[in-house]
Amino acid sequence: MVSAYLLLGSNLGNRAENLLFARREISRLCGQIITASSVYETEPWGKPEQPWFYNQVIEIRTHHQPDALLTRLQFIENELGRTRPEKWGPRTLDIDILYYGSFLIQTDNLIIPPPTLPERRFALLPFAEIAPNLVHPSMHCTIKQLLERCPDELTARKII
């Protein structure tokens, strides 16, 4: 079993219900949820002309290898009607693997940790809430330090 940290996001439909659906299905298909951050309402990153997101980071314990975990997470996204017509576009549900143990993973389909993580306040803020002292496997600094250095100034506010 390995700990994995996942970023959940939604900006279409009932955002809170979408995150609840994601947590329920992740528990059923991927592994036990160990902890979950608060939910944050966040300004869209990358493509500003769209509804604001609800974001949350969860930690799970899983026995699935990274590619198998990704397949299961994409299945959950698709169950909620996720489509991918454009990069950074609106979505009912987005689930990203932020960390998988302390491994650095790079395949054709998957890069863990995501290279843009240090630039994304909407991911770092909830991540730092539940794992502030977790060390980035290649940058060798904590999540809290990444958040302190993050250049992103977009709004992110705790709501739940």
Burial of 138 (0-12, 13-18, 19+ CB in 10 A): exposed
Active site annotation includes 96: yes
Q: Catalytic: which of 96, 120, 121, 152?
A: 96
Active site annotation includes 152: no
Please give the DSSP secondary-structure letter assigned to residue 104: -
Residue 13: per-residue pLDDT? 94
Q: Catalytic: which of 15, 23, 91, 120?
A: 91
**Domains in the chain: ranges and CATH:** 2-158 (3.30.70.560)
Q: Catalytic: which of 15, 23, 94, 121?
A: 94
pLDDT-based confidence at residue 8 (cuts at 50, 70, 90) = very high
pLDDT in tens, 104-154: 999 999 999 999 999 999 999 999 999 999 999 999 999 999 999 999 999
CA–CA separation, 149 and 147 (whole Å): 5
Residue in 16, 21, 17, 19 with CA at minimum distance from that of residue 8: 19
Q: Catalytic: which of 15, 23, 72, 82?
A: 82
pLDDT in tens, 89-99: 688 999 999 99
Active site annotation includes 94: yes
Residue 76: per-residue pLDDT? 97
Active site annotation includes 108: no
CA–CA separation, 16 and 33 (whole Å): 17
